[in-house]
Structure 1
Amino acid sequence: MGKDKIVIKGAKEHNLKNIDLKIPRNKLVVITGLSGSGKSSLAFDTLYAEGQRRYVESLSAYARQFLEQLKKPNVESIDGLSPAIAIEQRKAGANPRSTVGTMTEIYDYLRLLFARIGLPHCPKCGREISPQTSQEITDRILALPEETRIQVLAPLVRGRKGEYKKLFEDIQREGYVRVRVNGKVYDLAEVPSLDRYKKHDIEVMVDRLIIKKGIKSRLADSVETALRLGKGIVLITVNGKRLTVNRELLFSEHFACIKCGISFGELSPRMFSFNSPHGACSGCDGLGIRMEVDPDLVVPDRNFSIYEGAILPWSEPITTRRHKWKYAAQRYYSQQLETVAEHYDFNLHIPWKNLKREERDILLYGSGDDSLNFHLERHGMTHKFCRPFEGIINQLERRYRETSSEYVREEIKNKYMRTSSCPDCKGARLKPESLAVTVGEKSIAKVCALSIKKAQEFFSNLKLSRKEALIGREVIKEIRERLNFLINVGLDYLTIDRMAGTLSGGEGERTRLATQIGSGLVGVLYILDEPSIGLHQRDNRRLLNTLKALRDLGNTVLVVEHDAATIRFADHIIDLGPGAGRHGGEVVVSGPLEKILRCKRSLTGRYLKGELKIEIPKKRRPVKGKYLTIIGAREHNLKNIKVPIPLGVFTCITGVSGSGKSTLVDETLYRALANKFYKSKEKAGEYDRIEGLENIDKVIIITQDPIGRTPRSNSATYTGVFTPIRELFSQIPESKIRGYRPGRFSFNVKGGRCEACQGDGIIKIEMHFLPDVYVSCEVCKGKRFNRETLEIRYKGRSIAEVLDMIVEEALKFFKNIPKIKHKLQTLYDVGLGYIKLGQSATTLSGGEAQRVKLATELSKRSTGKTFYILDEPTTGLHFADIQKLLDVLNRLVDMGNTVLVIEHHPDVIKTADYIIDLGPEGGEEGGFIVTSGTPEKVARRKESYTGQLLKKILA
């Protein structure tokens, strides 16, 4: 039984209702159901946790202490379980050293390839450098045309000052007759006196020959002698018939540029690693970026004059936490500025933008070697000195490095510094000598800057010599295979050097999926969380074929998914429900697609059959003529586009993966609006201007980021509903008698919480090489508060009992408290009536977390001029959940607000009032507006992939 099935008995983790289940092995299995129905509890918290736990327990006690150990899930038994690998839908780590290349091992193979067949060049002059043996040098010379006259010279002095009398004497004593000094040949007896203060080049002439048969032995001896005298370097002059030098050939036994005097060690993979001191750029330690003071933050408003406070760090100087000596510092800085203005004759009362470029540079970066006479008053005394002006940016950077005050350092960093490309390596991360090594005329940095698709073309067309092909064949094969896996999961637009932290959740998951296929493991249980997220419907087939290939290797592939195409493609479907939270956790139906479609209880089956569906609106909101228009957007792959976004309607930004949607909306539009409304310091992508800003007064973005990383964060604290609840409890007469304030009812601060568990309700017991054990606190019995706090009751319920309520129950309980009811109502409206108020944020699914964020924003007062931005809000949502989401978004638009959504889901796209389709492809072939307008208009455009999709849906 265990050979062809995974058999689960009595699974009770989280909201699972003691379920029994048989899952076929070596099949593609989809787990679906409403958000919060128990899919992740079954897939990750039960199957993965147990599979991983069993594998780890098979290792030695010593090895186990270094590995993450998952607690034993609440399940009676699981038979037929394989070692499990989870590929979750989460943002990739924030480690700035992690890239797509390092995640997939492509970069490791590239380092090996460049170390073995790379062609080094001088980083200064670009001359090709290659170490050669004396025999190889001899063969290269013999390849010259017959009758060519050559001179074999040994370089002794290269660009050094001196008279060198003793050197000439030593050469003569060794029996040599001629030398070449500064390009001119002399007999040693006739060498003129050299100027000791000028640089000279001196070579001794070892031999003169004519290329013809029978000279190989003599030439070899001469080359060896020249290499010995020249310390591994030989210079060959190639002469024409009249003995005028036509060209020179330099050869070296070492990796060294004879012209520039730069030496290399032997090429090795570590020389191309930005994580190793042997390869990392010394300016940025291999990060490619540096924290630097940004002139735009130093002078945030160029319309102000210096007199009006244009230079922010000097008009609002950072002194101490209590702003001690602030006014003295202001006076000190203003006197310096007055001296600079007087010296260079410019006006402090005109706007910053009207100052000349040179004047602004002096103020920001200093006067260089030019000294100024300063007369500064400080503490009642006049100080006179003459020195260069340091410059505002240089002064801030010096203070940042030298200050002993952590407060001052943090203030400078937070207010005036941004990460920017390293000026030494231009973001390439490596030392100049590493970047000077090429394969196919490209450095490793240029190869990594290629998109996956372009890199595949580069390696397919790479021309190599027979020797290079023999050495690099296997390495190139591995690189091409990994590139192909990334193309197959729809990531052909990513560049190899793309930082892992900038990938979306879906991109990160598909990158890890490609890595797993490359590993070629067999007999493994793979568990994936919505791999189709962020993928256009056009690319779905490639992803499904990848999952099929993983299954056909001999693995069980278990996918938590809501995408209709993936569900239909599966060999076996498990539908959980029937509801969410405490109303879910049951197996509604399990079997092939036909069985799901026949099941009347299955919501999934009814949507797949078409019995239930998200309706196309009968009437779309008309565009009223007001637009927010971004002009000249050109960040990353955007092609200097003008994008008018209609206001007061529901707009969808669509396009294939990598077409520029996130670059346009998140990196350019949102950051520009945040800079405008909230003085955010995040730099917006490149654009010219935004028109129509007067029509909005607030911008709100709801992303895929988790709402909390600690168990202390919950939906009540995140939405802010816990604050009025605590205030309500503090107003109870008994609380007033005891002098309890709202803080008494917080489990995060001392006073009202249980100090035995510090408000956690559980106590962690470290077991070292066994998984940590969590036990309920014996003092508070898991209620998180002390006895005195729990004695305060509202309508017979303590604060702990209120946190244990589900939203639906709490809504009735607090129906007479408008402040609390309003926030709870929004949670209920987004379909989260089943979650507990005190439920830890870490236990919420991705779809639930995003809807908690949405509810938080909904509960805020709307002005009717708010601009909402949502990035793939359907992540983790079932068809029925999407209907609730659309109801909420439409409610926002009906109040006069604007909703802009980045989305791939057909049900969201078809219900939008307006669509802006980017493309036509991903990466460099994207970044254009393919079409825009109503879904009906977009459906008529044949060149639009979104249009092709809509044509089928709207037909």
Structure 2
Amino acid sequence: MTTTVTTTEAAVRGRAITIRRVRTHNLADVDLTVPRNRLVVIVGVSGSGKSSLVFDTIAAEAGYQLNETYPPFTRNRLPKWTRPDVDHIDGLTPVIVVDQRRLGGNARSTVGTITDTWTYLRLLYSRVGTPVLGESNRFSFNDPTGMCPTCSGLGEIVVSAVERFLDLDRSLAEGAILVPGFGNGGYWYSQYADIGSFDADTPLREWKPAEREALLYGGEAAAALGHKPPDGYEGVVERFERIHLHTSDNLSERKQDVIRRFTRAETCPDCAGERLNAAARAVTLRGRTIGELSRLEIIELLEFVRTIDDSRAAPVVSALVGRLEAMVTIGLGYLALARATTTLSGGESQRIKLVRHLGSSLTEMTYVVDEPTVGLHPADVETMIDLLERLRDSGNTVLVVEHDPSVMARADQVIEIGPGAGSSGGRLVFQGTFDRLRTADTPTGRSLRRDIGRGHPAREATGRLTIADACRNNLRDLTVRIPTGVLTVFTGVAGSGKSSLAAELVDQYDATVVDQRPVSTNRRSTPITYAGIAPTLRRMFAEHNGVPASLFSANSAGACPTCTGAVSCTSTSPSWTDARSSATPATAAGSPPRCSGTP
């Protein structure tokens, strides 16, 4: 079953990454020679060891060795790499990892800021915009001289979601005010129920509208009540905003949770979402403001910028055109610079990361790319492959973990790890060209030869979910009826609105979201803790051994004493051979076992 290539022309010339006896994760003493300056695709079933080879061996060792060239002060501030378990590895070059983690970022991060195109646009307006404002910082929504004072450059303000404050079918005594601290027994309850202005035992739905208005807002409505509230009376909304919104103190997690539940974001009424102050919004270039340009699709913005012929801005225009062209080339021409990075999909995030490298003059780099075609429409796959080939043709090595046959077909070499997953994988089962892979007796080879037909007849829908007048991102008053009780697929080219439509579905109906976001950012999290299996396992081991369950928790008494359960050491750890007789870990005689990453 194994078809391997032990030498290549590149290897003979010494231009290869040579790996001997790598044992990272499930890799089983793999020997491998990967040609450099080539587009190499690594394939295999899920869990076969592809990522262990590319990310946790090649990228990790290159990152570690590169970090070692810096002084200790700098190393302490660089990303930490765990060295792979390998006998020998050489021929490495600096590695750039391009994964599918969403860009995320904070509320100030946009497509324009993350790609530096906003910087060029600011320079352009500072040089040739009218009236002249001067330095480019005057067009920065992250600088006090440029940001809108009302929203502090965020484009949105946080307002009370008053419709969530009350349950009209309850009385005050029954907890009609839903905001924590305002219900019966809460700190502020007596300020409304005991002042004689409101009937505490009648459901709010039976109150007069003016009474509900007075309860929420106070002011003139409260003054007009038959039983006028005492001096200093605050409506529920007034008091909520003073306590939770109009404070400069560091908010506790509890207060932050209350804010998330009882507020919503609205477009800033002063800047209309442009984030900039009035002076910056007044500057125009060929009749357009910088805010207007930021909302154009990139392909439209590119056409506009190309028309600017002014010697004062020639270098800026050239740089901006180059960056915008790169974004169009990789299929992001439908985005706008004002688009928040938090709204981008994993695939869009990955391609934006690649934009930074398209115009780079660096060569002999190794790009490690994680499944770049995931989520792409077939019409967009060719564009992504062209991008990968451009990186290779610039004198770099491109290693791609991928399942798409279209990418495999354009690769200089395909490497398959397998044949199965976990302990059944971790071996080199094929290395060669795509044409040879199609005839190989490997899981991938057999899959490529399989005729993919319709497996089962379509099921009948049990009902419909209607999404009405959706306007999120590029959706244009879209109304869709989605069948229930069946599997429904949203398809369309990149940027067509698939994710936006799915987000509307989640917002309007009770839905469980399974997306590309990391399952946890806690370094102590593992598959069994995240899945909720760990407590049951700990309880079983504890009952069998007659000891507390905490002895089997890396976050409690069972943690390695050196790394405290952080899975990042190979130091000595307690032996549990005497756990039955003592609740305190006992150290076995002789050399105790190593932690080796088992917390």
TM-score (normalizing by structure 1):
0.55
Q: CA deviation at 1:440?
A: 2.5
Match of 1:662 in 2: 499
SS in 1 for 2:33: strand
**Within 2, Cα distance between the matches of 1:706 and 1:650?**
24
* Cα distance change of structure 1 residues 637 and 576 upon mapping to structure 2, 3 Å threshold: same
**Within 1, Cα distance between the matches of 2:203 and 2:536?**
51
Match of 1:577 in 2: 418
Match of 2:238 in 1: 394
Mapping for residues 136-535 of structure 1, pairs under 5 Å: 266-299=133-166, 304=169, 312-313=177-178, 317-318=180-181, 326=185, 329-334=188-193, 338=197, 350=205, 355=209, 364-367=216-219, 385-386=230-231, 390-400=234-244, 401=246, 406=252, 409-410=255-256, 412-460=258-306, 462-464=307-309, 469-535=310-376
SS in 1 for 2:465: strand
Match of 2:446 in 1: 606
SS in 2 for 1:631: strand
**Within 2, Cα distance between the matches of 1:787 and 1:349?**
63
Q: 1:659-679: CA deviations, max 9, x gaps?
A: 2222222x22122223xxxxx
> Does the CA-based 8 Å contact 2:560-2:574 persist in structure 1?
no
Q: 1:119-170: CA deviations, max 9, x gaps?
A: 13xxxxxxxxx5xxxxxxxxxxxxxxxxxxxxxxxxxxxxxxxxxxxxxxxx
Q: For the pair shown, which has the larger CA radius of gyration, 1 or 2?
A: 1
> Does the CA-based 8 Å contact 2:39-2:398 persist in structure 1?
yes
Code of the residue aligned with 1:98 in structure 2: it is S
Code of the residue aligned with 2:75 in structure 1: it is R
**Within 1, Cα distance between the matches of 2:212 and 2:117?**
45
Q: Does 1:113 align with 2:129?
A: no
Q: CA deviation at 1:618?
A: 4.6
**Within 2, Cα distance between the matches of 1:53 and 1:287?**
38
Q: CA deviation at 1:776?
A: 2.9
* Cα distance change of structure 1 residues 755 and 597 upon mapping to structure 2, 3 Å threshold: closer
Code of the residue aligned with 1:399 in structure 2: it is I
Q: 1:439-493: CA deviations, max 9, x gaps?
A: 2222222211222222223223x455xxxx1112221222122122112222222
Q: Does 1:710 align with 2:517?
A: no
Q: CA deviation at 1:268?
A: 0.6
Match of 1:746 in 2: 553
* Cα distance change of structure 1 residues 568 and 413 upon mapping to structure 2, 3 Å threshold: same
**Within 2, Cα distance between the matches of 1:785 and 1:397?**
54
> Does the CA-based 8 Å contact 1:490-1:535 persist in structure 2?
no
Match of 1:17 in 2: 28
**Within 2, Cα distance between the matches of 1:333 and 1:35?**
60
Q: CA deviation at 1:758?
A: 7.1
Code of the residue aligned with 2:126 in structure 1: it is A
> Does the CA-based 8 Å contact 1:757-1:784 persist in structure 2?
no
> Does the CA-based 8 Å contact 2:61-2:83 persist in structure 1?
yes
Q: CA deviation at 1:438?
A: 1.8
* Cα distance change of structure 1 residues 56 and 726 upon mapping to structure 2, 3 Å threshold: closer
SS in 2 for 1:434: helix
**Within 2, Cα distance between the matches of 1:27 and 1:407?**
50
Find the partner of 2:387 among 522, 546, 551: 546
**Within 2, Cα distance between the matches of 1:730 and 1:76?**
39
**Within 1, Cα distance between the matches of 2:53 and 2:251?**
51
**Within 2, Cα distance between the matches of 1:786 and 1:293?**
56
Code of the residue aligned with 2:101 in structure 1: it is R
Question: Hey, which of these two has a bigger chunk of strand by percent?
Answer: 1
SS in 2 for 1:94: coil
* Cα distance change of structure 1 residues 292 and 311 upon mapping to structure 2, 3 Å threshold: farther
SS in 2 for 1:458: helix
**Within 2, Cα distance between the matches of 1:397 and 1:596?**
65
Mapping for residues 753-772 of structure 1, pairs under 5 Å: 753-754=558-559, 756-757=561-562, 760=565, 762=567
TM-score (normalizing by structure 2):
0.85
Q: CA deviation at 1:90?
A: 0.9
Code of the residue aligned with 2:348 in structure 1: it is E
**Within 2, Cα distance between the matches of 1:411 and 1:274?**
27
Code of the residue aligned with 1:604 in structure 2: it is T
* Cα distance change of structure 1 residues 296 and 49 upon mapping to structure 2, 3 Å threshold: same
**Within 2, Cα distance between the matches of 1:545 and 1:423?**
44
Match of 1:6 in 2: 17
Identify which range, 426-435 or 650-659, moves more after superposition: 426-435
Match of 2:590 in 1: none
Gaps of 5+ in 1: 121-129, 131-265, 342-346, 377-383, 675-698, 765-773, 793-800, 805-837, 841-955
> Does the CA-based 8 Å contact 2:214-2:221 persist in structure 1?
no
SS in 2 for 1:775: coil
* Identity between Structure 1 and Structure 2 (%): 34
Code of the residue aligned with 2:134 in structure 1: it is L
Matched positions, count: 576
**Within 2, Cα distance between the matches of 1:50 and 1:288?**
43
**Within 1, Cα distance between the matches of 2:152 and 2:164?**
25
* Cα distance change of structure 1 residues 724 and 754 upon mapping to structure 2, 3 Å threshold: closer
> Does the CA-based 8 Å contact 1:32-1:39 persist in structure 2?
yes
**Within 2, Cα distance between the matches of 1:525 and 1:404?**
44
Code of the residue aligned with 1:312 in structure 2: it is I
Match of 1:942 in 2: none
Q: CA deviation at 1:614?
A: 4.4
* Cα distance change of structure 1 residues 641 and 308 upon mapping to structure 2, 3 Å threshold: farther
**Within 2, Cα distance between the matches of 1:119 and 1:761?**
57
Find the partner of 2:465 among 628, 640, 646: 628
**Within 2, Cα distance between the matches of 1:272 and 1:646?**
47
> Does the CA-based 8 Å contact 2:138-2:280 persist in structure 1?
yes
> Does the CA-based 8 Å contact 2:146-2:280 persist in structure 1?
yes
Mapping for residues 94-113 of structure 1, pairs under 5 Å: 94-113=105-124
Code of the residue aligned with 1:280 in structure 2: it is M
Code of the residue aligned with 1:726 in structure 2: it is R
Q: CA deviation at 1:362?
A: 5.8
Q: 1:623-682: CA deviations, max 9, x gaps?
A: 35x2222233232222223322222222212111222222222x22122223xxxxxxxx
Code of the residue aligned with 2:573 in structure 1: it is E
Q: CA deviation at 1:386?
A: 4.5
**Within 2, Cα distance between the matches of 1:119 and 1:409?**
45
* Cα distance change of structure 1 residues 641 and 407 upon mapping to structure 2, 3 Å threshold: closer
Q: CA deviation at 1:700?
A: 2.8
> Does the CA-based 8 Å contact 1:715-1:839 persist in structure 2?
no
Gaps of 5+ in 2: 1-11, 587-592
Q: Aligned-pair RMSD on alpha carbons?
A: 3.6
Code of the residue aligned with 2:152 in structure 1: it is D
**Within 2, Cα distance between the matches of 1:291 and 1:533?**
35
Code of the residue aligned with 2:555 in structure 1: it is N
**Within 2, Cα distance between the matches of 1:412 and 1:648?**
35
SS in 2 for 1:573: strand
Match of 2:589 in 1: none
Find the partner of 2:508 among 672, 680, 689: 672
Code of the residue aligned with 2:460 in structure 1: it is P
Higher relative contact order (CA 8 A, sep 6+): 2
**Within 2, Cα distance between the matches of 1:784 and 1:458?**
75
Match of 1:38 in 2: 49
**Within 2, Cα distance between the matches of 1:118 and 1:637?**
29
Find the partner of 1:50 among 56, 61, 64: 61
